[in-house]
Amino acid sequence: MYSFSDIYKYSKDLNVLYVEDDIAMLNSSKDIFESYFVRVDTEMDGLDGLEKYTAYKKETSQFYDLVITDIHMPNMNGLEMIQHIKRVNRGQNIIVISAHDDSTELIALIREGVSNFITKPINNTQLLKTLYKSSYEIYNEKMKNEFVISQSKLVSMGEMIDGIAHQWLTPITLIQAHSDTLEMDIEDGELSKQNVLECIGKQSIQIEHLIETLNEFRSFFKPSNKLEVCKFENLLNATLVLLKEKLIFHAINVEIFASDNLQIQVVPNEFKHVLINIINNAIYEFQNRKISEPKLMINSYLQEKSVVLEIVDNAGGISKDVIDKIFQNNFTTKEDNGSGMGLYLVQLILEKINAKIEVQNVLNGTKFTIRLHRV
């Protein structure tokens, strides 16, 4: 039998929603659950449980780690509540507490992806085994996602450092050229106040570019998990600064049709990762397919209660055989050059803020569509 410490090392940081209409069982079980989990919220009906689930997402910008629920409840039963939850969070980990005669409901629950059950009356051995199994599954999934994100950030860091070298090379070369010109003027006895002022002005422009680039790179690598309300246009411009040299080098025309003052609630640096990954994929395809006039079109607009962002390229589209797989972990079309994590990371980041991403082929290219809740 699993001990308290066996379970606690995986369960101690988890937030739980517990839904049970039997008040005596609710209170006694809650006392047990509170010894294992950092937070246990309770409700006595599926409808109230669903409302609590939605409110928690708005409060914390994340889903409950675990939902524990009875099946038979008034107003909305456990199965219906789970079906609603699975529509917004397919990966939600759920434990169902059921009676022995719930076979019909159990089949439906299995179809919904529920695999962890506790039967009534609750047996202590079964309870501990199920709590261990669920907590271990959630812990492993979190560790896997954190590993994927850290690996992707390391890849991005390497690309960004390379970008710093390229972006700084031109302005530093120009600053040196202006200094050499001044030195030649001194040697030729032609130095004038006007020459000096012109040189200072030209060097100031290049220095401002260096500072802007440096500030964007510092911001990009600054760790933060805080949700912020930001103007999409500002985030996009900051991202394009990071990619400026690469876009210029490959002669990529970027057309932006962004609604003025359109605001989104995101973790800024993580959302820059989303934009960078999608744009970098397009750049790779432009280069790989030798597109003669590469173009990116970035649109943003309001649609009912959603903010819609579109990134469209003319890189020839994605094969029908793989288009449904591109958001899967370790899937890549870049042969030896791809990690298979980029678009998987994009999906993980967007799922955390309850946003959705879709991809489709359009005339001569691909369109990524991101839908976020309107602020």
Specify the pLDDT at position 170.
Answer: 67
Which value, to the nearest 10 degrees, does the dihedral of the CA atoms of residues 374, 307, 276, 273 take? Answer: 20
Confidence of residue 333 (pLDDT cuts 50, 70, 90): low
Residue 227 confidence (pLDDT): 84
Fold of 226-375: Heat Shock Protein 90 (3.30.565)
Q: What is the pLDDT of residue 93?
A: 92
The answer to whether 148-222 and 226-375 have equal CATH topology is: no
pLDDT in tens, 149-185: 676 666 666 666 666 666 676 678 778 887 888 888 7
Who has greater pLDDT, 225 or 226? 226
Q: Which residue has the higher pLDDT, 241 or 366?
A: 366
Q: How confident is the model at residue 42 (pLDDT cuts 50, 70, 90)?
A: very high
The domain made up of 4-122 has a fold known as Rossmann fold (3.40.50)
DSSP 293-312: S-EEEEEEEEETTEEEEEEE
- Can you tell me the distance from the alpha carbon of 288 to that of 291, in angstroms, rounded to the nearest whole number? 8
Q: What's the CATH class of domain 148-222?
A: mainly alpha
Q: Among the residues of 89-226, which ranges form H helices?
A: 103-111, 124-187, 193-220
pLDDT at 334 over 80: no
How far is C-alpha 85 from the geometric centre of its chain's CA atoms? 20
Q: Is 353's pLDDT higher than 80?
A: yes
Residue 152: what pLDDT? Answer: 66
Q: Round to whole Å and give the CA distance between 93 and 361.
A: 33
Compute the mean pLDDT over every residue in the chain, rounded to the nearest whole number: 84
Per-residue pLDDT, 53: 95
Per-residue pLDDT tens digits for 187-206: 878 778 887 888 888 788 77
Across the range 247-261, mean pLDDT stands at 88
Q: Which residue, among 172, 272, 261, 257, has the nearest Cα to 219 in the 3D structure?
A: 272
DSSP 254: E
Domain ranges of the chain: 4-122, 148-222, 226-375
Share of the chain above pLDDT 70, in %: 86
DSSP bridge partners of 301: 308
Three-class SS state of 64: coil
Q: What does the alpha-carbon distance between residue 246 and residue 163 come to, in Å, rounded to a whole number?
A: 8
Average the pLDDT over 32-36 and give the result.
93
Average pLDDT over residues 129-139: 92
